[in-house]
Amino acid sequence: MDSGFCLVSSPNHQEVVQSRFFDPSWLQMQPHVPMSFVWPKECLVNANEEFHAPMVDLGGFLRGDDDDATNRAVRLVRKACSSHGFFQVINHGVDPLLIGEAYDQMDAFFKLPIRRKVSVKKTLGSVWGYSGAHADRFSSKLPWKETLSFPFHDNNELEPPVVTSFFNDTLGGDFEQAGVVFQKYCETMKQLGIKLLELLAISLGVDKLHYNYLFEEGCSVMRCNYYPSCQQPSLALGTGPHCDPTSLTILHQDQVGGLDVFADNTWQTVPPRPDALVINIGDTFMALSNGRYKSCLHRAVVNKYKERRSLAFFLCPKEDKVVSAPEDIVRRDGTKQYPDFTWSRLLEFTQKYYRADEATLQNFTKWLLSSKQQTL
């Protein structure tokens, strides 16, 4: 096997030898979870009930011809985001054939030999590329998954488009079609994300277009997630409990299931629905709402018998634009909950100094204020 991050079997099948990557085909055959992948018991509490997440029909809102439908959507979104930051959408306008094509291209990548996948591995401090269990950054509580992450920038002057370029430059002609498919997928997600921002703005009582300027020419993150089967799913997690540091996450999960949300002080599982997209509020939008809307605490569990896949699009502001809650909301609330910051600073914090969890925004705020004091 290549030098690099690999896991190799030991006599008792429980020790992990780390260099730079691991081979998931080896990992999923192990009868015992390596210690680097074992999570604390408090993170592994079972989700014993289904989460009845609000199902928001976007049809009337997207058409712009049904005020009643829009008002219903606004009420559902406001209630969900004020309590747990999670809802699902249907009639969202995304072609199911496009979603299917994205899964096909993702499958083709993750079925490559590990040597080929590692050739596009993330470099230190970078968001883009292949990662096996994030083992390039961490040595314990590793997530039982592989990811492929790449940028999306909606600058129409870029030629060729950024997603197409990523696949051509890193994987070559074999994945030219993947670049085409994911470029279209990301364009569709960005368009939907902007419409969701408008719905959120209405629900917060500010101008419908208030947030849009922050995201013009922003660089968003597209991530393909592959969770191998696991012989001891009660010890491992596909993704540990965390809140996304980004603004909004638009996710499609396959039919295996495994997404859990923490709501009403308990973990609850989100049943897959093929025609629905999962939406969750991230830390950046929590700050943009002055804390009114909650960043969603969630995790991914693994399955003993089946692999699982998901497609996640993380909507991000332009890196240098100031993230600040609307003055109207701050005035109504009576206090400003978070200092102004840029997305580039929060991204730097999570990539260099902090592993995202349920307290990322609070700890980032402390770090930011401390950094400012040191420069005075």
Phi/psi of residue 349, each to 5°?
A: -60, -45
Say which residue the tokens 């980004």 belong to: 246
Q: On the CB side of 237, how many CA atoms lie within 13 Å of its CA?
A: 22
Sign for the pseudo-dihedral over CA of 239, 240, 245, 250: positive
The strand order across the sheet containing 219-227 reads: 55-57, 86-90, 277-281, 248-253, 308-315, 219-227, 146-153, 129-132
Q: What three-state secondary structure class fits 253?
A: strand
In order of 222, 280, 371, the CA distances from 153 in angstroms are: 11, 21, 30
Q: Could you give the C-alpha distances from 191 to 17, 161, 198, 250, 344, in angstroms and in order?
A: 44, 16, 11, 11, 22
Gap between the Cα atoms of 92 and 363, Å rounded: 35
Q: Which of 78, 299, 308, 309 is catalytic?
A: 308
- Given the DSSP bridges, would you call strands 298-300 and 341-342 parallel, antiparallel or unpaired? unpaired
Amino acid letter for position 126: S
Task: Map tokens 């896949």 to a residue.
Answer: 309
Is residue 63 part of the annotated active site? The answer reads: no
> What is the spatial distance between Cα 230 and Cα 227, in angstroms, rounded to a whole number?
9
CA dist., res. 170 & res. 284, Å (int): 30
Which of 52-62 are b and which e, b meaning 16 or more Cβ less than 10 Å from the residue's Cβ? ebbebbbbbbb
Report the interhelical angle of 96-110 vs 176-204 (nearest 10°). Answer: 130
Residues tagged active-site: 308
